[in-house]
Amino acid sequence: MKPENSFRSVRGKILKVSDEYLNLPSEDYRTRMERCPLCFNPGRRVLQVTVSNHVYPEDWKLLMDGFRFCSGNACQMIYFNNATATYFLKSEIKTRFGPKEDEGPKPICYCLSVLEEDIRYEILKKNCCDSLQDIEEFTKAGTGKWCLTTNPSGRCCRDYLGDVVDKFLRMKETAGVKTTLNRIRHDLDGPSAEKQVYLSVKGMTCDSCVTHVSATIEKMGGRNVKVSLKDQDAVFLLPSDTKPDEIAVALTETGYESNVVEKSRTK
């Protein structure tokens, strides 16, 4: 038997009710119905047709009007109905809700099948997106029309898409600041030993590719960068304490298969 200050999920997990929920006046019925008993965040009304698309068929018998979607991203609750004491944890439905997940894959746009990992790749790896508008254009996230049934929240991913994009843009900005500081520190400390690096860079098809490859190498500390579209290679100077393989890996992750083709030589 569960204690009075706890509740049982549909799979039988016993969880403690939050103190805020326990301390609600008994006459405050409306708040009791609207708040998640686990995190006390307000729940958004969600239609039965939405819930039925994401819970397992064996649980359909538990469904009726009155379910709410828990808005707390740090909370493991996903759907709750306080009137019937029916509670679905995020681990008890068949669809992952990206903003509530700690590890990938993290679905963001369900209509167009866009993962958080896809957005991270466009911003931090390909370095081609600098705004929410860019992400929408490149990935089509936020442009679907079937959110009512595809998204566990029953709403468009635009509710949280901006926050996801901002998170990676801040990471990109921080990385840029660190690169600038490293260059300033290098200038103040004076020149250090450098080595000449030769990379094969496959997959370049135009001048834009050359520009992107050059920029990536420079951001990672390369100097005097020369990238050849014809020869599909790059030659540059690199501080001796930086591993050429790290640049090769970074370029490969952005879509240009790269390898160190000749042993670096000390300048």
Domain C-terminal end among 92, 109, 128 = 92
Based on the structure, what is the number of domains in the chain? 3
- The band of 267, judged by pLDDT with boundaries at 50, 70 and 90, is very low
Domain C-terminal end among 67, 92, 117 = 92
Backbone angles phi, psi at 196, to 5 degrees: -90, 130
Q: What is the H or E stretch that residue 77 is in?
A: strand 77-81
Question: Do 61 and 123 belong together in one domain?
Answer: no
Question: Do 88 and 14 belong together in one domain?
Answer: yes
Reference 200, options 241, 127, 252; nearest CA is: 252
In a domain, residue 186? The reply is no
Question: Do 77 and 125 belong together in one domain?
Answer: no
Reference 40, options 51, 48, 31, 49; nearest CA is: 31
Burial 172-201 (b: 16+ CB within 10 A, else e): beeeeeeeeeeeeeeeeeeeeebbbbbbbb
Question: Do 82 and 14 belong together in one domain?
Answer: yes
Q: Is the pLDDT of residue 131 over 50?
A: yes
In a domain, residue 105? The reply is yes
Reference 158, options 93, 205, 104, 99; nearest CA is: 99
pLDDT at site 172: 81
137: containing domain: 101-173
pLDDT at site 266: 40
Residue type, 56: Y
Question: Do 162 and 228 belong together in one domain?
Answer: no
- State the CATH number of the domain containing residue 86: 2.20.25.270
In a domain, residue 75? The reply is yes
Question: Do 87 and 108 belong together in one domain?
Answer: no
- State the CATH number of the domain containing residue 152: 1.10.10.1100
Reference 228, options 216, 218, 236; nearest CA is: 236
- The band of 6, judged by pLDDT with boundaries at 50, 70 and 90, is very high
Residue 154's CB is within 10 A of a number of other CB atoms, namely 20
Question: Do 108 and 166 belong together in one domain?
Answer: yes
Question: Do 10 and 88 belong together in one domain?
Answer: yes
Percent share of the chain, pLDDT over 90: 66
Rounded distance between C-alpha atoms, residue 188 and residue 167, angstroms: 32
Rounded distance between C-alpha atoms, residue 255 and residue 21, angstroms: 50
- State the CATH number of the domain containing residue 242: 3.30.70.100
Query: Is-contact 140 134, C-beta < 8 A?
Result: no
The full DSSP string for 37-60 is: TTT-PBEEE--HHHHHTTS-GGGG
In a domain, residue 106? The reply is yes
Query: Is-contact 125 132, C-beta < 8 A?
Result: no
Question: Do 80 and 129 belong together in one domain?
Answer: no
In a domain, residue 163? The reply is yes
In a domain, residue 166? The reply is yes
Domain C-terminal end among 173, 203, 227 = 173
In tens, the pLDDT along 78-109 reads 999 999 999 999 999 999 999 999 999 999 99
In a domain, residue 1? The reply is no
Question: Do 112 and 87 belong together in one domain?
Answer: no
Question: Do 165 and 197 belong together in one domain?
Answer: no
Kindly give, in sequence order, each residue whose CB lies less than 8 Å from that of residue 195, ignoring residues fewer than 6 positions away.
Answer: 237, 238, 239, 240, 244, 264, 265, 266, 267
pLDDT at site 125: 79
In a domain, residue 188? The reply is no
Question: Do 24 and 46 belong together in one domain?
Answer: yes
In tens, the pLDDT along 222-254 reads 889 999 999 999 999 998 878 898 899 889 888
Tokens of 235: 């030659």
